């Protein structure tokens, strides 16, 4: 994807070309009518935010790249995203499919409840093919975590850039990350398994720190913007972000365990922001 591309439509066309799929198949997977896709590629129709997210997921690129060509200030370090390899588009598609199917399996059945054979069946490949792309189940889970980071990053990039007010941007960010719906609960389930593994064995701590730090920095950037504009209190920035993210983490676990609803979590975070961050 090194050639010059000046518009979202140009970059979307390149992403589709390099996805290993025909445009019709990409449209089917993202649930977009082919005529709307053609108009978006030509620039006569704008991609909706959720369409950009789905296209980025299916094609294996980031929303930031689709929107800016990778020049956005909030781009995620490459080592926190699914790894790219020197391989054909068809091989890259097979690798993405394995990771996506494994992501759902790990989220819904837990790491110990998933076998390589289960992933192979879900991805419609042989177990030998799984081992061709990955050294083992732990390596797949590492890619699954990076896939979770990408999903969250893409969603945030697509929906937060147009919100100028820091208070509203922070509220929207929290709602984008609620553990609700099948995908939202799956993302949190992956994180909980990472936390549990680190707690029990200490394995994966380094990888987790970088991934979690990306989320933490997203919150920090918004809070810092609000402080500079005078809408958030001028308190020690890192302490404020530590307290807020810890509060969110705790509430998310309560939602996953049925002690709160997602709406109640959002209301509690809103009240926390009003009480502890927002200048009267």
For residues 91 and 97, what is the distance between their CA atoms, to the nearest angstrom?
10
Q: Provide the CATH number for the domain around residue 206.
A: 1.10.357.10
**pLDDT score for 82:** 79
The encoded tokens of residue 106 equal 């790990």
- pLDDT of 150 over the 70 cut: yes
The encoded tokens of residue 97 equal 């499919």
Give domain status of residue 54, yes or no: no
Give domain status of residue 236, yes or no: yes
Give domain status of residue 183, yes or no: yes
Contact 16, 23 (CB under 8 A): yes
Task: Give the tens place of pLDDT for each residue, 160-173.
Answer: 989 999 999 999 99
User: Percentage of the chain with pLDDT > 90?
Assistant: 82
Task: Give the tens place of pLDDT for each residue, 193-204.
Answer: 999 988 888 877
Count of structural domains, the chain: 1
Task: Give the tens place of pLDDT for each residue, 37-86.
Answer: 999 999 999 999 999 999 999 999 999 999 988 765 555 666 667 777 78
- What number is the average pLDDT over the span 227-243? 96
Give domain status of residue 133, yes or no: no
- What number is the average pLDDT over the span 201-225? 87
Supply the range of the domain harboring residue 216.
163-280
Give domain status of residue 206, yes or no: yes
Give domain status of residue 121, yes or no: no
What distance lies between CA 28 and its chain's CA centroid? 21
| 278 bridge partner residues | 232
Which of 14, 52, 2 is CA-nearest to residue 32?
Answer: 52
For residues 38 and 186, what is the distance between their CA atoms, to the nearest angstrom?
32
CA separation (Å) from 118 to 85, 97, 107, 121, 206?
A: 24, 13, 13, 5, 28
- pLDDT of 31 over the 90 cut: yes
Give domain status of residue 259, yes or no: yes
Give domain status of residue 198, yes or no: yes
- What number is the average pLDDT over the span 185-199? 93
For residues 5 and 262, what is the distance between their CA atoms, to the nearest angstrom?
40
CA separation (Å) from 161 to 25, 73, 152, 188, 246?
A: 29, 11, 14, 24, 24
């Amino acid at each position: 994807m090194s050639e010059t591309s000046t518009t979202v439509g140009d970059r979307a066309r390149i992403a589709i070309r390099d996805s290993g799929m025909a445009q019709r198949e990409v449209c089917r997977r993202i649930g977009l009518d082919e005529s709307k896709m053609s108009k978006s590629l030509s620039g006569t129709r704008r991609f909706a935010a959720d369409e950009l997210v789905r296209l980025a997921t299916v094609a294996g690129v980031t929303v930031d790249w689709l929107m800016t060509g990778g020049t956005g200030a909030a781009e995620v370090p490459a080592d926190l995203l699914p790894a790219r390899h020197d391989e054909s588009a068809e091989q890259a598609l097979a690798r993405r499919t394995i990771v996506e199917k494994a992501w759902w399996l790990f989220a819904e059945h837990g790491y110990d409840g998933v076998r390589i054979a289960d992933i192979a069946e879900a991805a419609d490949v042989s177990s030998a093919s799984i081992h061709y792309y990955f050294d083992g189940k732990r390596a797949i889970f590492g890619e699954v975590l990076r896939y979770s980071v990408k999903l969250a990053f893409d969603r945030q990039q697509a929906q937060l850039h147009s919100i100028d007010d820091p208070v509203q941007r922070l509220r929207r960010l929290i709602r984008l990350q609620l553990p609700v719906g099948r995908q939202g609960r799956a993302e949190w389930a992956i994180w909980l398994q990472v936390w549990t593994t680190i707690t029990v064995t200490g394995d994966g701590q380094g990888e987790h720190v970088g991934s979690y730090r990306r989320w933490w920095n997203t919150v920090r950037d918004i809070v810092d913007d609000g402080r500079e504009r005078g809408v958030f209190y001028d308190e020690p920035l890192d302490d404020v972000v530590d307290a807020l993210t810890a509060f969110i983490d705790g509430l998310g676990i309560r939602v996953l365990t049925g002690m709160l609803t997602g709406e109640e979590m959002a209301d509690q975070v809103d009240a926390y922001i009003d009480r502890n961050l927002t200048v009267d």
